[in-house]
Amino acid sequence: MTNETPWVGGRTWTPEQARGALPLVRRIADDLVGAFRRWEQAVEAFEYAASGSTVTAPSVEAAQLMADAQRLAAEVDGYERELAKLDIRVAQVSHGLLAFRSERVTGAERDIVPLYWTPTLGEPSYDWPDSVPANGTSTSWPSRAQEVAAKRSRAWRSSSDGSRE
């Protein structure tokens, strides 16, 4: 989900309500981040195993690792759906950064805004946490995080990272 994705429901969270929900939300966030890290490892293992296969000699190991990665991706999606039912978005999965659907009143205007929280923060905040890079704020899945000749694969970096050389 991204910040442009409409919120699933109509619930809004005050900072106090979000703080009260943290025991449940923390468990889901921990499970989400753990599953995401296992998914990253499964993708890396799959890509390594697949690098030695050909059309005429497919890798049985690569096929199993791909199935494992797909299972883990479905697990990550399940945690995101659990949070979405609570009107909580996953803003950045690798850091467990969540955004509660909140409301901010400015004068006579009421705006729906995210109230951010990550396991490294004690309290939900309307401000983006300093500990989380703002680049790539949506849920992003890395591609080809594979060691190649003692260097990171060029596909690991996004075009916004600048030169690939």
Which pLDDT band holds residue 143 (cuts at 50, 70, 90)? very low
Are the C-beta atoms of residues 14 and 102 closer than 8 Å to each other?
Answer: yes
Average pLDDT, the chain: 78
Q: Which residues contact 28 (CB under 8 A, 6 or more apart)?
A: 79, 82, 83
pTM above 0.75, yes or no: no
Flag the least confident range among 3-7, 99-103, 129-133, 156-160. Answer: 156-160
- Give the CA distances from residue 7 to residues 1, 86, 91, 128, 130, in Å, rounded to whole numbers and listed in that order: 9, 10, 12, 19, 24
Which pLDDT band holds residue 4 (cuts at 50, 70, 90)? low
Domain boundaries defined on the chain: 15-129+138-161
DSSP SS3 for 97: strand
pLDDT per residue over 38-50, tens digit each?
Answer: 999 999 999 888 8
Flag the least confident range among 8-12, 25-29, 107-111. Answer: 8-12
Residue 146 has pLDDT above 60, yes or no: no
